[in-house]
Amino acid sequence: MTCDCCAADDWRPLFSENDIRLGHCSQCDLHSIEEIPAGDVRMTEMEEGHYAGTQQVLDARRQLAAERVLTERFSRFVSQAQRHAPGGAWLDLGCGGGLLMQLAQEAGYQAEGIELNNERRQIAEEATGAPVHGAPVEDVAFPDDSFDVISMINVFSHLTSPARTFAELRRILRPGGVLVMATGEITEGARAHHMLNWNLGDHLHFLGDRTMEQYAERLGLTILEHERRWLPDEMFSREWLTVKGRSPVKNGIKTAIRVTPGGLKALRAVMLRRQAGSAAHSGVFVIAAA
């Protein structure tokens, strides 16, 4: 398999989940599943809200309710963008029910969104009164230099070719504009038990240790900020207990833990021990066109 990031042909397997193999490129450390689906197949899956994973909320109304607990986290993305590009046009890729678009609007930006799922797209349009496009960014044909800020929150892992998407974002980003990206990162030695569920198949790619630097070098981008948090620590949090998934059983367990005094503390004690040494992290990048 030719690497999306560095074009090397040296993919090395790490582990499997649900018969899907995850491996990484020996040259740039991009982690990818063994068989990346074709772009048009992927488009249909995203449109229909069909995800291989179990944590993704299928029902769009429940998705919106779940997003409300993310307000605090998303507000930090707005603050980060404001430090570099304090106003202008903001594009949110994979905008879901439109929460980040609303926060950008409140901060004075003119927001636009992209959302491939039809039901969520309608909710985002109603919530923001702003245009929300239903096609991949490469197909929308935005003019050059269209946006001051582009956000891509938990989208990178779903892209069939991140290099292609980054190149397009660079084209439509204004000089001085920034891309705010949050995504999973994997440091050396990932094992299957490092995550409860990697959602392989839904997740196609994860950044490795040196990967984003290599994308940046190849595509003419500059990394302005990069912060990395250990995922188990971030995951087993009150926020995670509040966000509901598609499994009623899991939702019930989460609620039980949340309302039990000391429940979260006990859960963390167990899970952080079980996932000690986990290579899974969550990263936030602020990136400019070089």
Question: Please, which of residues 14-43 interact with Zn ion by CB under 5 A?
Answer: 25, 27-28, 30
Of 29 and 115, nearer to Zn ion (C-beta) is 29
State in angstroms the smallest separation of the CB of 27 from Zn ion: 4
Residue 56 is a binding residue for Zn ion (CB under 5 A): no
Shortest reach from residue 31's CB to Zn ion, in Å: 10
**Phi then psi for 226, rounded to 5 degrees?**
-150, 120
Q: Cα separation of 216 and 105, whole Å?
A: 29
> What helix, strand, coil percent values describe the chain, rounded to 5?
40, 25, 35
Closer to Zn ion by Cβ: residue 6 or 169: 6
Q: Which of 49, 205, 53 is nearest to 115 (CA)?
A: 49
Judge residue 208's burial from the number of C-beta atoms within 10 Å of its C-beta, 0-12 exposed, 13-18 middle, 19 or more buried: buried
CA Rg, the chain, in Å? 18
Provide the minimum distance between the beta carbon of 290 and Zn ion in the complex, in angstroms, as a whole number: 20
Residue 5 makes contact with Zn ion by CB under 5 A = yes
What residue type is 175 in one-letter code?
Answer: P
> Which range in 3-11, 45-53, 177-185, 189-197 contacts Zn ion by CB under 5 A?
3-11
78 alpha-carbon distance from chain centroid: 16
**DSSP tag of 55:** S
DSSP 36: P
**Comparison of 10 and 125: residue with beta carbon closer to Zn ion:** 10
Kindly tell me which of 70 and 163 has the beta carbon lying closer to Zn ion: 163
Please report whether residue 212 would count as binding Zn ion according to CB under 5 A: no
What's the rounded Cα separation, in Å, for the pair 247 and 129?
32
- Is the separation of the CB atoms in 9 and 1 below 8 Å? yes
Q: Would you say 147 or 206 has its CB closer to Zn ion?
A: 206
Contact between 6 and Zn ion by CB under 5 A: the answer reads: yes
Q: What distances in angstroms separate CA 13 from CA 17, 67, 274, one per listed residue?
A: 12, 34, 23
Residues 153-192, one symbol each (x = binds Zn ion by CB under 5 A, - = not), give ----------------------------------------
8 binds Zn ion (CB under 5 A): yes
Stretch that binds Zn ion, among 2-10, 187-195, 231-239, 251-259 (CB under 5 A): 2-10
Q: Which is nearer to Zn ion, 3 or 173 (CB)?
A: 3
| Cβ-based nearer residue to Zn ion, 31 or 120 | 31
Residues making contact with Zn ion (CB under 5 A): 3, 5-6, 8, 25, 27-28, 30
